[in-house]
Amino acid sequence: MISLSHAESTLLTTLAATGRSVFATEDAYAIRGRGKATRDALERLVHKGWLERIQKGKYLIVPLEAGPKRVWTESVHVIAGELASPSMVSHWSALAYWNLTEQVPRVTYVQTTSRREDRTPTVLGMRFRFVRVKAAKFFGGHRYFSRGGAVLVTDREKTIVDCLDRPGLCGGVEEVARALAASDGDLDWDRVTDYLGRFGSGAIVKRLGFLAEHLQLAHPPERDTLLRWLELLTAGIGKLDPSSPRQPHRIVTRWRIAVNLPEAGLRSSG
């Protein structure tokens, strides 16, 4: 292991003492002063394997547990939260967090209101996909603590709504159907209804209303809840899965939805 100078050791231990695994160049400036000397010290720490640069101006502290070869992978969710602000782990990755999918997405999906030039970066071998949403759709966060710090992930209800809004980001509506079946009894239908109203998307209501009745859930939404959803319907017929190339085989007029997926497969999801 490459040894550290006194200045490098002081900088590293002071940063580590904050309890954060990721820091910005500005944090180093606050400790050692603004200027080239501090930037050079950071570069040397990267070269010696004590820091990993995760993006311009942001570094990951590689802990002692990484061993002499400095091999270490931080929580992918922690890294995601540092790459964009504000942000939440979302869509297929949120389904995985809540154990609502048996699939392990190879990409970490992250919802943000920020504009990014690179929406699909690879950091430390980990692939990310940033999904930009309007501020009005950025809500429903659940905070948990992982190695390295606090993480925001969309809560169960927001995850379902997000996935029905953009099924292509979670493996399709069939994957959402499996998630609804897996979450049976854990969803707060009043919260779901609130989220549907805040989204203002008739397409989501059509998809969810059809699935909630079709899947024969053990804990389905109450009749009054379904009536509230029906009031949120918009004109026109929507596709059950807009990401599917299949042609619709029937129209469910109650929910104004064109069913373009095999219904037997949806039933078996439960």
**How high is the pLDDT of residue 147?**
65
Express each pLDDT in 24-75 by its tens digit.
899 999 998 998 999 999 999 988 888 888 888 888 888 655 444 444 455 7
What's the whole-model pTM score?
A: 0.81
What DSSP assignment string belongs to 159-181?
HHHHHHH-GGGTT-HHHHHHHHH
**How high is the pLDDT of residue 215?**
93
Residue pair 241/172 in contact (Cβ under 8 Å)? The answer is yes
Residue bearing tokens 């989220």: 195
What gap in Å lies between CA 16 and CA 100, rounded to an integer?
35
Q: What is the Cα 162 distance to its own chain's centre?
A: 10
Helices (H), 187-259: 189-199, 202-214, 223-231
Domain ranges of the chain: 6-66, 187-270
Q: Quick one: fold of 6-66?
A: Arc Repressor Mutant, subunit A (1.10.10)
Mark the ranges of the chain whose per-residue pLDDT is less than 50.
66-72, 268-270
Closest CA to 91 of 167, 31, 185: 167
**Cα separation values, 98 from 65, 73, 77, 106, 268, Å:** 28, 22, 13, 16, 21
Which amino acid, one-letter code, is at 255?
Answer: W
